[in-house]
Amino acid sequence: MMDKTQKILEKFTFKKGDFADIRIEKGKGISIAIQNGRPEQISYDHDIGVGVRALIDGGWGFVSIVGTELDEIEKALIKAIKIAKATAIKSKEKGMITEDHVVEGSYKVKYKNDPRDVPLEQKYEIVEEFERTARTYSDKIVKTNASIKNWFQKEIIVNSLGTKVYTEYSNLNILCMATAREGDTMQNVYFLKGTTSGWEEIERLDITQKGVELAERALLLLNAEKPPSGKRDIVMDPSLVGVYVHESFGHSEEADSILADDSILKGKMGEQLGSELINIYDDPTIPGLRGSYCYDSEGTKTIKRQLVKGGKQIGYLHSMETAAKMGVEPNGAARAMNYNHRPIVRMGNTYIDAGDHSLEELLETIKNGVYLENSYGGYVDTAKGEFYFSAQGGHLIENGELGAPIQNVSMSGLCLEVLERTVALGKNLEFAFPGSCGKASQSVPVHAGGPHLAVKQIVVGGLK
Amino acid sequence: MNDFFIKGIKHGIKKGADQVEIFVLEGASDITQLEKNAIFASESKTITGFGVRAYTKKGLGIATTSLLDKDSIKDSVNKAVKLSKLSPPDDLFSSLPGPFTKYPKVKGLEDKTISELPAENLTEMAIEAIDSAIEKDEVVVSGNFKRLCVTETIFNSLGVEVSQTFSSLTGVIFAKAEVNGDIATSWDFQKVRAKADFKPNKIGKVAAKNAISLLGSKKISSDELPVILDHRSTMDTFSSIVAAGLDAYEVILGTAFFKDRLGEEITSEEITIKDNPLHEGGVGSAVFDDEGVPHKELTLIDKGVAKAYFSNSYCANVLGIENTANALKSNLGSKPHPDLTQVQIEAGTWTIEEMISETKKGIYLKDSALGPSEGSPNISVLIDQGFLIENGEISYPLKETMVGTTIFELLKSVEGVSKSLINESGSISPAVKISKASIAGGK
């Protein structure tokens, strides 16, 4: 299929600066979900399609089709070229592409235990056990939802420069959510394990224990204090640190945001942004994490990228286009949700590197404040540099120790101020936030983490 | 093609399923992407696929594919039936809905001038929006303009066989204003079903004006203050509260905020909220829901009193209530759950000017929702676009400011509802003033 697709491209002549690529995707997956003891969904999904890009005279055109018929792919390429030409006439900001960047390679997923070989019944039993354990722990657990999803995808990427890449990608997730209710008080917690490794990752989990822990967390929050409102000194757990670094820095380091004049970090390369304690990386090459991959959606082999070193900004995330515009090498950060979308600059696994303090030392540093744990996610306005993220719960910090539990709450801050106010880092790096990142109507799997982090004067949007 | 789907339904029954449904999507979208005051890319996408739901002895199997051909239909039906036999039964399930003999007439769902609009015209509209935004030198804009045409067809083994076609134009402009290092961002958007209603220049102008109005933002100290929600903030806030509070499926699960409270006064008597999928040309309008059940108008809150849960066939059967035809599939592979179609909130008696002038110190929210946190009535949100009100006047824009309250407190503290309404392609809302919420400030 790869050679036949390459032959389609060879029928066309691309002058210097022009470009086209074809991305063929075939994906299959199974989802099992159980809600409140009843089967919610057992589904089989099958998706096949092709995304075709063309860059002509500095204008981009993109066409997607379902199926992989060669004639249809050729028609899609003709259409992509046509709309690229039409775009070029209207476009004042010309697109570019790295011209000497040619990749040939392949990556095949290697499992210890292939999730596709695990019988449906076995998967169902695990989901059932997880959901039942959480639900039956207490009458106050009113809603439970557990699921397993696995997705396997093959992709061929060819382009007019000569790139020929075959890559496979897989994703396996187990999730359980529990909601506890007493009168008008409701608290919701969840556990998610997301991996690009095999079934062995599920086997390593003690599902029964996880179900009990989840129920206990929900019940603890049901009787927890209302969260405080106002500026507070805080300690974040690795899950919140993951979302914090993803939202506040990761997005601002995406080179398309810099070029679009949409990042607070534009023009700050090499500048000291904050505490020398801070080192930030994005590394899709770490095996098994949810945001791990080998080749990006343009066929570039991905690498570990350091974004902040000793508090100084040193790197961006790049696609072929942003790299060309900035005169650097692409670093494998162009990702597309599926064949129906263009690749854009995205993160993979983003983290703050560990420091050297224990959690006890961080709590002692903050003395009186708020400990926040288990992230719900967040968002950022990269242009203003203002971010928001939510915790499933936490504790008050009183006299340097964890005090009374508090309910779910959100926080916000200004990216550059918060980096300056980071006063201490924990010593245990943990990839504690497997999630999905949304940008430009595309959602891609990511992972994020870090050590515990002590930060002064964050706005906590509590209830009292 | 329809014959193949009907044969697919029959094939599923022959294979042993008790009931089978096929939901088909066929359509296309064109998108013009904007970046840094310029056209950046043009896209043409195929939106095609179908999902099969098969029930055998109350066990459910679902199969989806993007391919619309005879073999894929048979293959997907086989897979769904096979999964339904492996699935344990859902004892609460009784039947798919239908058949139905009468469907409402809903005007304005499809506009041929949108379906037949040349892609170049979409680009021209985007340029019009950019040009009107960058009349202000300090503004940089990005965004996208989209034309969508899609046909939904639903078949089931009880005799449902219905089809509806929608077209829409959507424009979104994000604007960034920058003066001497001070940065503010905002946006505006419009989604319509009739081309004649689409105003690209207005989208660009409003986005730019909004961003400029947010320059000079300041931090404030934490306090407990009244909050005025503008029309869009009211729409988003009350839609999210009602969506989580009166959802019949959440009632079954035990997490609906207003479970067992129908007939109770839950908010100010000035608040009346309907879900109306029959509004002419509404972007949430449709002839039938995602199970093929004929749509109807539904009063959810009447003069502050909770009146009804919104439901689908499953919930209606389980709770013994009317099926309000609110089934929505979040994707082809999902089971349809109840969701709102198009919220319409009635006008009150205040003017916005009165709300502001009678506020000594408070917050004015613009196009920002005070939505509840996941699975909780607690509200804890960042004010993206808000202003401080001082001595009855809007004083300055805010940064690093959050609002904390609960949905119960918010509903109890509704102090006034505006007589002015916005109607955004069928979604209708006044502005609302609430008497107090915790404000966390960055000062």
| Same domain assignment for residues A201 and A246 | no
| Contact residues for B253 (Cβ-Cβ < 8 A; gap 6+) | A35, A36, A142, A143
* A180, A202, A222 - which closes a domain: A222
DSSP, res A34 = E
Strand, coil or helix: B51: strand
User: Which of A31, A42, A177, A181 to mutate against chain B (most B CBs within 10 Å)?
Assistant: A42
User: Which of A120, A410, A457 to mutate against chain B (most B CBs within 10 Å)?
Assistant: A410
pLDDT tens-place string over residues B295-334: 999 999 999 999 999 999 999 999 999 999 999 999 999 9
Q: How far is CA A75 from CA A9, A55, A313, in A?
A: 11, 16, 44
Question: Residue B249 and residue B271: Cα distance in Å, rounded?
Answer: 24
For residue B123, list chain A residues with Cβ-Cβ distance below 8 A. 86-87, 90
* CB distance A373 to A227 below 8 Å: no
| Same domain assignment for residues A153 and A263 | no
| Same domain assignment for residues A307 and A260 | yes
pTM comes to 0.94
Residues 393-422 of B with CB under 8 A from A: 399-406, 408
Nearest to B440 among A41, A230, A390 (CB): A230
Which fold would CATH assign to domain B2-213? PmbA/TldD fold (3.30.2290)
Question: Residue A461 and residue A410: Cα distance in Å, rounded?
Answer: 6
Question: Residue A249 and residue B301: Cα distance in Å, rounded?
Answer: 43
Helix intervals (H) in B38-181: 70-86, 112-115, 119-133
DSSP assignment of A328-339, as one string? S---S-EE-SST
**CB–CB contact B62 A44 (8 Å):** yes
User: Which of A129, A232, A459, A460 to mutate against chain B (most B CBs within 10 Å)?
Assistant: A459
DSSP, res A431 = E
Residue A189: closest C-alpha in chain B: B375
The upper half-sphere exposure of residue B150, i.e. CA atoms within 13 Å in the direction of its Cβ, equals 20
| Same domain assignment for residues A199 and A251 | no
Residue B93: closest C-alpha in chain A: A38
**CB–CB contact B253 A142 (8 Å):** yes
Residues 212-231 of B with CB under 8 A from A: 222
Q: How far is CA A77 from CA A17, A82, A95, B43, B236, in A?
A: 17, 9, 18, 12, 41
| Same domain assignment for residues A257 and A127 | no
Nearest to B40 among A40, A91, A413 (CB): A91
**CB–CB contact B185 A59 (8 Å):** no
* A170, A199, A222 - which closes a domain: A222
**A386 part of contact set with chain B, CB < 8 Å:** yes
Residues 105-124 of B with CB under 8 A from A: 119-120, 123
| Same domain assignment for residues A275 and A363 | yes
| Same domain assignment for residues A201 and A338 | no
* CB distance B120 to B176 below 8 Å: no
pLDDT of chain B along its 443 residues, tens only? 789 999 999 999 999 999 999 999 999 999 999 999 999 999 999 999 999 999 999 999 999 999 999 999 999 999 999 999 999 999 999 999 999 999 999 999 999 999 999 888 999 999 999 999 988 778 999 999 999 999 999 999 999 999 999 999 999 999 999 999 999 999 999 999 999 999 999 999 999 999 999 999 999 999 999 999 999 999 999 999 999 999 999 999 999 999 999 999 999 999 999 999 999 999 999 999 999 999 999 999 999 999 999 999 999 999 999 999 999 999 999 999 999 999 999 999 999 999 999 999 999 999 999 999 888 999 999 999 999 999 999 999 999 999 999 999 999 999 999 999 999 999 999 999 999 999 999 99
* CB distance A110 to A169 below 8 Å: no
**A220 part of contact set with chain B, CB < 8 Å:** no
Residue extent(s) of CATH 3.30.2290.10 domains in chain B: 2-213
* A222, A237, A261 - which closes a domain: A222
Q: Cβ of A268: how many Cβ atoms within 10 Å?
A: 15
CATH for A135: 3.30.2290.10
The helix (run of H) or strand (run of E) holding residue A396 is: strand A386-398
| Same domain assignment for residues A155 and A190 | yes
For residue A408, list chain B residues with Cβ-Cβ distance below 8 A. 373-374, 376, 378, 380
**Domain limits for position A147:** 2-222
**CB–CB contact B185 A381 (8 Å):** yes
Q: How many domains does chain A have?
A: 2
Question: Residue A135 and residue A127: Cα distance in Å, rounded?
Answer: 12
| Same domain assignment for residues A233 and A208 | no
Pairing mode, strands A141-159 and B327-328: unpaired
pLDDT tens-place string over residues A335-379: 999 999 999 999 999 999 999 999 999 999 999 999 999 998 898
| Same domain assignment for residues A312 and A176 | no
Question: Residue B63 and residue B84: Cα distance in Å, rounded?
Answer: 10
Cα–Cα nearest to B99, from B151, B161, B152: B161
Question: Residue B53 and residue B81: Cα distance in Å, rounded?
Answer: 8
